Structure 1
């Protein structure tokens, strides 16, 4: 019986490079957590006070999300849509 640990949280996009919408609840939890932290950042690190700090916060969150997609998602490569 195959293990469920091999499931990809983020499947590859059909066209282009990168990942599409999450395929598992873990992927959706990561994506919703990302959006919740972005919204929280508007209040914790207001862009009106320091746009540079806010931009650094958003960049850090994006780097973490990309790392999770890289580790738990399908290996990225350029796709032309005709993979069968």
Structure 2
């Protein structure tokens, strides 16, 4: 059985990490991340910017964890040729 990735790896020359979701499950995670980000801003700001920052760090950690578990393995970070610039 072929493994279905929720998030694709970024192509070489575009950095390290994952791109936009490939499946509906990935889109649920992606949209949920932004909904919780805005909900945290409404709930915490402007009274508790420190708690909002903590909220953002927790959400980002959770998103990276989910992408690492359900996404395609990303390629090497330093794969580009220095002499060709960022895209090479």
TM-score normalised by L of structure 2: 0.79
* Displacement of 1:25: 0.6
* Displacement of 1:51: 1.2
Q: Distance in 2 between matches of 1:75 and 1:13?
A: 10
Q: What residue is the counterpart of 1:30 in the other structure?
A: 29
TM-score normalised by L of structure 1: 0.83
Q: What residue is the counterpart of 2:57 in the other structure?
A: 59
Q: What residue is the counterpart of 1:12 in the other structure?
A: 9
Unaligned runs of 5+ in 2: 81-86
RMSD across aligned positions (CA): 1.8
Unaligned runs of 5+ in 1: none
Aligned residues: 78
